[in-house]
Structure 1
Amino acid sequence: MPIMGEKKYECPLCNKGFTTEKYRDVHVNGHNGEKENQCKMCKATFLSKSHLTEHMKFHNKLSKKFLCSECGKRFIKNDYLVNHMRRHRGEKPFKCKYCGKGK
């Protein structure tokens, strides 16, 4: 039975592991210089149009509508703001079940 998140598809060029054959194939295309999706603002390139679309959200200030009242940093999702606010409060809600160390 496969383990959830197991990286059993390996890049033949750099040995990096991937959870799906599709992700591995997209990665291999990157080695071949096939990054056809370029950001018009910063010239970064991406293997897929969906990665470029996600990247563009970080450039688009209108999409960053969630504002931190402590430091003024903006976020594209409320969940990102909620996680960010934990830092201001010093919260570490995720603890290792073995050693108890928080993150």
Structure 2
Amino acid sequence: QRHALTHLGAEKPFRCGECGKDFPAANALLLHRRQRCQDKPHTCGVCGKRFTYGHSLKVHERVHTGDRPFRCALCG
């Protein structure tokens, strides 16, 4: 039912300050900002690259540590 509101012209009181797009719920605006408008609160302490999600930062940090938890089945 909540999803249907996104298609039925529901009231959209939450506006993105970056692009001006309106959203029916605060969580939809937050998701939009993180994915589309560069709200990236997780920063790599080594190179400064910024990420939307903490998990993405953890994966990226392997670049600096050399940690390779997944081995190739062919070459090891």
Of the two structures, which has the highest relative contact order with CA contacts closer than 8 Å and spacing of 6 or more? Answer: 2
